[in-house]
Amino acid sequence: MSTTSFNVPMRLRRNRKSEPVRKMVQETILMPQDLVAPLFVIDGMQKQEPIHSLPGVARLSIDLAVQEAQALYELGVCAVALFPIIDPRLKTPLPSEAWNPQGLLAVAIQEIKARVPHLCIIADVALDPFTPHGHDGLINDRGEICNDATIECLIHMSLMQARSGVDFVAPSDMMDGRVGAIRKALDEEGFQNVGIIAYSAKYASALYGPFRDALQVRLAFGDKKTYQMDPANSREALLEAALDEEEGADILMVKPASLYLDIIAKLRNQTKRPIAAYHVSGEYAMAMAADRLGWLDADKVLYETLLSIKRAGADIIFTYAARRILKNL
Ligand code: PBG
C-alpha cells in the first residue's frame, strides 16, 4: 500500500465509507437544469405517436408538446429543443416550409412560448426535415451540398424562429460560416437577445439513426460526410469550435457526447464559453435496447453516461433521457 509522507498508509476508502461521506466528496452533480429535452412535434391535436427505436419518446401534437414542456419545466428543466416532422408533400428542393411563419415549427414555438413563458426554447436550424432528399443543405446538379446558398436558407429559418419567439437558434447543419451570417442577420433585425447554440463539432456518426426514424427522414443518396466531421479527428473539432466562437456563438456544442468525451474535455480547456453536448438518439437507444434484453439497467447506465458527459466538461446536455433521469435525481 502506498503511504503518505508521514509514513501512514493512504486509505482513500475512508472517503467512500458511507452514503453521506460519498456525497460530501462528490465532484460532479447532475442537476435538472443541466438537461435539455428534445421534443418532436407533429400536426394535429391530441396526437401521440411512439417512436419504436426511441422507447419512451413520442412525436407529439402541439397541444401535447405544450403539456410535456410544462411538465419538464415543473421538474426543473430550463430548455426544450424542438424538431418538427414535416408532411412529405411540403418538402421541396428549395425548402421554403423551413421558414413558413405559419408552419408547424413556428406555431409550436409560439404556443410553447405563450403557455410556458419561463421555459427556454431552442430550435434546430437545418434543412433536413424539410428537403425531399433528407440532406441538411441545397443540392446542385452535381449532387453537391452548396454551402453559401444553404446559408441564405438558414438565415431565413433563423429569422422566422426569432420572430416566433425562440431564445436560441441552434444551427446543426455544419455549413462553413453560418454562425457569423446568422448572428449578423439576427442583429440587423433587432434580435440581439436571441442566442446561438452552435453544433460546432458535429460528427458524421452512426448514432443518428433513431432520430431520423423519429423525423421520418431517410437520406435519398450518399451520406453526410462532406459536411459533418470525421470521427477520427479532434484538432479539427477545436478549430470548428474556435471559428464558431469567433463568429459569435454563445454556446458551443459537441455531438454525439459519450463517444466524444475527449473532445468535450479538450474543448473545455480551450474555451470559456459554455459547452453543450448532445447525448444523441443512438446513445439513448443502445441503453434502452440492452435494458429490454435484460442485459443492462437503463436508468443506471443513462445516469452514469450523463454524469460522465458533465464530468468531461459539458455544462448542458441534450438528452432523450431527461424525463426518465429527472424522476431519479
Ligand atoms: C439534423 C439533426 C440531426 C440530429 C440533430 N439535428 C441528425 C443528422 O444530422 O442527421 C441528430 C440527433 C440525434 O440523433 O439525436 N441536422
Let me know if residue 24 belongs to a domain.
Answer: no
Let me know if residue 113 belongs to a domain.
Answer: yes
Q: Which residues contact 126 (CB under 8 A, 6 or more apart)?
A: 136, 154, 171, 172, 173
Please give the tally of structural domains in the chain: 1
Bond into 50 cis (ω within 30): no
Give the pLDDT score at 328.
Answer: 78
Ligand 1 atom with minimal separation from the 173 CA: 16
**Can you give 286-300 as a three-state secondary structure string?**
HHHHHHHCCCCCHHH
**Which residue range forms the structural domain that includes residue 169?**
29-328
Let me know if residue 237 belongs to a domain.
Answer: yes
Residue 123 CA, ligand 1 centroid: distance in Å: 12
Residue 128 CA, ligand 1 centroid: distance in Å: 9
203 lines ligand 1 (CB under 6 A): no
Give the pLDDT score at 8.
Answer: 86
Ligand 1 atom with minimal separation from the 284 CA: 15
Let me know if residue 139 belongs to a domain.
Answer: yes
Can you tell me which residue has the cell 402541439? Answer: 62
Is residue 140 within 8 A of residue 167, CB to CB? The reply is no
Let me know if residue 10 belongs to a domain.
Answer: no
Which pairing describes strands 48-50 and 58-61: parallel, antiparallel, or unpaired?
antiparallel
Let me know if residue 8 belongs to a domain.
Answer: no
Residue with the nearest Cα to atom 8 of ligand 1?
Answer: 208
Please give the model's pTM, rounded to 2 decimal places.
0.97
Give the pLDDT score at 7.
Answer: 85
Task: Please report, for the domain that includes residue 139, its CATH number.
Answer: 3.20.20.70
Active-site residues: which are they?
Answer: 202, 255
Give the pLDDT score at 126.
Answer: 97
124 lines ligand 1 (CB under 6 A): yes
Give the pLDDT score at 5.
Answer: 78
Give the pLDDT score at 9.
Answer: 85
Low-confidence ranges of the chain (pLDDT < 50): none
- Tell me how many degrees the CA angle 138-140-146 measures, rounded to the nearest 5: 50
Let me know if residue 39 belongs to a domain.
Answer: yes
What is the Cα–Cα distance from 117 to 50, expressed in whole angstroms? 27
